[in-house]
Amino acid sequence: MRLKELADLLTIAELQGEMDIGITGIRMNSQHVRQGDLFICIPGIPGFQEDRHQYAADAVRRGAVALVVEQEVGLDMPTIRVPDARYAMALFAAHLNGYPSHGLQLIGVTGTNGKTTTCHMIESIFIHAGHPTGLMGNLGTRIGTTLMETEINTQEPPELQANLKRMTDARVKYCFMEVSSQGLHMGRVLGCEFRTAVFTNLTQDHLDYHGSMDNYMAAKGLLFARLAQSFVPDPAKRKYAVLNADEEASAVFRKLTAAQVLTYGIRNQADVMAKNIRLTSQGTSFDLVSYAGTVTIQLRLVGTFNVYNALGFILLGYRVPTIAKQKHPMEPHAFHGSLRCLVGGLLRDPNLHHQKSILIEVQSIRRNLMVHSKVPTTYILIVSLASVFTLMDDSISITAGYSVDHTTECFEIRNGI
């Protein structure tokens, strides 16, 4: 692709040098630059990310043939100077890869807790339904059965758009993406055409970056603000926001989008609700209440958080009694996020870093289990996607069920935890 083609995408830009040159890739890390690349000099974020203008000369030595900058770097070479290098990077990356998100059903999941497990569990349902899938998140990027490690949760635009392009080339139809608050604030998913956005919860986290809970919530809200701002007549192009009705932030997010909002919850009124929750040593049961009626659901899962997750299997237009009868294995391959409550009161999990949330669930379990009761490994199921997936593809039949226990471990709930 010619540099001029990229420069022409911008309304406001100061151009220096020859624009009619070939560009083979986009980089923002000078150590990764290859011959023919365009190097993006993004500004720094104190304490989190270095200013890349200082590495422009190093990028040129490694083969960069052009630069995007926000300030003068003193190099005599093709340069595009812009007011927002991150915006230019996201735009150029999407254009260079042919706007791949437009060829996918892209589902973004955001929230303090549960993004990784939610995406893996959602993906497992589509794999079970026979659909080729892609996944991007904390544990890496998976395209079909190929798993690639990634350095960060929500990838920077050059890598993110390239991986989306690999998915479309592999004929993937559905991509499930973890969308972090930092990723949203930094513009990493700018230009991504999300079909559905899911919100799990909002608790205190990342305040070292955002500075306040209001800023943190505002960053999360960007996913919904960008989801849809107009109505469309074509059902295939309609957008959906799936919100946790028990979270105060959901009321804010609802007002940010023109997408159709679908809600789930336990305490507050929602489209899909769980009532009369009963926890036993054998699992959890509750009354599922929705527009389609009421039915009792049995899960081999323990904890209130699993009730929230189970609500995700309710589909608009799918009869509740049918859901109650059917089961789905929900095996997340390459997922090792089982909650372990270890003897002696030690709580550890490499993929769960919010101890307060874990302790609340353990206290909930203790209130309902006898001391020394053993329960299967608790897989966190997907957070509510309510009616979205049947609207997206009527060949998909998602049902309530439980984890297959071919990898079952038992843990003990003892006094003192």
Query: What is the residue type of 328?
Result: H
* pLDDT of 194: 95
Contacts of residue 314, defined as CB under 8 A and 6 or more positions apart, other chains included, come to: 264, 272, 288, 290, 320, 323, 384, 386, 387, 400
Q: For the segment 47-71, what is each residue's pLDDT rounded down to a tens digit?
A: 889 999 999 999 999 999 999 999 9
334 vs 216: which has the higher pLDDT: 216
Spell 269-301 as b/e; 16+ CB within 10 A means b.
Answer: ebbbbbeeeebeeebbbbebbbebeebebbbbb
| Structure token digits, residue 207 | 């305040």
How many degrees, rounded to 5, is the angle at CA 155 between CA 150 and CA 160?
A: 100
Whole-model pTM over 0.85: no
Q: For the segment 274-315, what is each residue's pLDDT rounded down to a tens digit?
A: 999 998 877 888 888 887 788 888 777 677 777 776 675 443
Does pLDDT of 406 surpass 70? Answer: no
Rounded to an integer, the average pLDDT of 236-257 is: 93
**Contact, 109 vs 297, CB < 8 A?**
no
140 Rama class: left (phi>0) / alpha (psi -120 to 50) / beta: left
Rounded to an integer, the average pLDDT of 76-80 is: 97
Q: For the segment 187-196, what is each residue's pLDDT rounded down to a tens digit?
A: 999 999 999 9
DSSP annotation of 227 reads T
List domains and CATH numbers for the chain. 3-89 (3.40.1390.10), 100-335+381-392 (3.40.1190.10)
CA distance 263 to 384: 8
CA distance 226 to 108: 12
Q: How confident is the model at residue 345 (pLDDT cuts 50, 70, 90)?
A: very low
DSSP annotation of 32 reads G
Rg (CA), the chain: 23
DSSP string, 355-409: HHHHHHHHHHHHHHS-TT-EEE-B---PPP-TTHHHHH-TT----------TT--
Which DSSP helix (H) or strand (E) runs through 331? none
**Contact, 313 vs 320, CB < 8 A?**
no
Which range, 298-307, 374-383, 406-415, has the best average confidence (pLDDT)?
A: 298-307
| Structure token digits, residue 22 | 């070939």
3-class secondary structure, 239:
coil
CA-nearest of 232, 94, 270 to 168 is 94
CA distance 129 to 396: 6
What φ, ψ does residue 100 adopt, rounded to 5°?
-65, -30
Query: What is the residue type of 69?
Result: V
* pLDDT of 129: 76
